[in-house]
Amino acid sequence: MAGTSNYIMARAEFDKPVKVLIVASPYYKDLSDNQIAGAVAELDAAGATHEIVHVPGALEIPTAIGIAERLSNFDGYVALGCVIRGETTHYDTVCNDSSRALQLLGLEGLCIGNGILTVENYEQAAARADPSDQNKGGGAAAAALHLIALARKWSNSNKGVGFTSDILLAGDTGGKTTA
């Protein structure tokens, strides 16, 4: 569409280390390598450390993230893969189920950048995976970093009944800690 542009948010910044797991499906190895390169560049630019694991296909990505969340200490996750439409309805199943599973994990509080490409053909996938073109791997990493930043921001907030008192008794810090 002519005249449209995409707004890109400023890079998330952190005062404490960030550790991210990239879970990638190398089913289309050249595309996966490009997605990973874009994601790693974004994570490096934000000062985040990362690990990379590979799984057979897009359907295994959410499962790997779920396992990592239960058994490790990552702050967030980047899901990278590619599903290209074929001749059967398997495309719809893989696209919908992988996306739905990632969304459910996100609603449970995991910080996930979804970079699973769902495209009609290889040319569309190549443009989206290319770090010098649409860079969807980098975009997924940026999304994960922004969610991590939000989670950290809100994890320090005091949850209450919707109001706070400005009146403190002697020696009362209002539930706040000082460092």
* Residues with catalytic roles: 90
Instruction: Tell me the backbone φ, ψ of residue 53, rounded to 5 degrees.
Output: -125, 150
Strand pairing partners for 116?
81
**Interacting residues of 122 by C-beta distance below 8 A, sequence separation 6+:** 28, 84
Pair of tokens at residue 30: 């050249």
Distance CA 29, CA 7 (A): 29
- Spatial CA neighbour of 134 closest among 147, 148, 145, 123: 123
